[in-house]
C-alpha cells in the first residue's frame, strides 16, 4: 500500500461523519474471541436505561471496544498490509465507532452520573475561587492576614 493510500484510510477512520449510515458489525473479533457486537448493542439499547447490574458489563464492553479500535488503528498506521486489508480495517474501525456511539448515548443513567460529576467539579472550582478571593490557605477555611 502506498503512503498516500494509508493516509487516506487513516483520515477516513478518524472522520467524525464516518459512522453516518454505517452499520454495526454482527460480530467482531476482540482479543482473539468473537464478540456478538450487534446483538449486544441492540439488547442494551432496548432498555430505557442501563440497570445497575448491567452497567459494569457495558463499561467493560466499551473499554474493550476502545482498546480494539486503537489496536486496529495502530495496525493500519504501522503494519505492512495491502490496500484491501486496510479497507477491511477501516470498515471494522467505523463499525466499532458506530457501536461505541450507540453505547455512549444510553439512557438517563449515564446522563445523571455526568450531571453529578459536573456539579461536583463546579462546586470544587467555586470553593477554590472563594478561597482564593478570601485568602484561605490550604483549603482550611481560615482567613490569613
Domain definitions of the chain by residue range: 3-106, 107-145
State the DSSP H helix or E strand holding residue 128, giving kind and residue range, or none if neither.
helix 108-134
Q: Which residues of 27-60 are buried (b: 16+ CB within 10 A; e: fewer)?
A: ebebeeeebebbebbeebeeeeebeeebeeebee
pTM score above 0.85: no
Give the max Cα distance, the chain. 71
68, three cell numbers? 480494539
Q: How far is CA 12 from CA 9, 78, 118, 128, in A?
A: 5, 16, 33, 43
pLDDT at 43: 86
Cβ atoms within 10 Å, residue 24 = 22
* pLDDT in 10s for each residue of the chain, 145 residues: 888 998 999 898 888 887 787 888 899 888 888 989 999 988 888 876 777 777 888 888 899 999 999 999 999 988 789 999 999 999 999 999 999 988 887 754 455 666 777 788 888 888 888 888 888 765 455 544 4
100, three cell numbers? 461505541
Q: 76 and 6 in contact (C-beta within 8 Å)? A: yes
Q: 41 and 58 in contact (C-beta within 8 Å)? A: no
* Cell 467482531, residue located: 28
Backbone angles phi, psi at 49, to 5 degrees: -145, 160
Alpha-carbon distance of 16 to 61, in angstroms, equals 21
Amino acid at each position: 500500500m502506498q503512503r498516500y493510500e494509508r493516509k487516506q484510510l487513516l483520515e477516513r477512520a478518524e472522520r467524525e461523519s464516518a459512522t453516518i449510515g454505517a452499520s454495526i458489525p454482527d460480530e467482531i473479533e476482540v482479543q482473539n474471541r468473537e464478540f456478538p457486537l450487534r446483538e449486544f448493542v441492540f439488547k442494551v439499547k432496548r432498555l430505557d436505561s442501563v440497570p445497575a447490574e448491567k452497567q459494569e458489563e457495558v463499561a467493560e464492553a466499551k473499554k474493550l471496544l476502545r482498546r480494539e479500535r486503537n489496536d486496529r488503528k495502530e495496525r493500519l498506521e504501522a503494519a505492512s498490509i495491502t490496500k484491501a486489508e486496510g479497507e477491511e480495517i477501516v470498515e471494522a474501525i467505523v463499525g466499532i465507532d458506530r457501536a461505541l456511539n450507540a453505547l455512549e448515548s444510553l439512557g438517563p443513567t449515564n446522563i445523571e452520573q455526568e450531571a453529578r460529576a459536573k456539579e461536583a467539579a463546579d462546586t470544587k472550582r467555586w470553593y477554590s475561587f472563594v478561597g482564593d478571593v478570601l485568602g484561605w490557605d490550604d483549603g482550611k477555611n481560615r482567613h490569613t492576614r
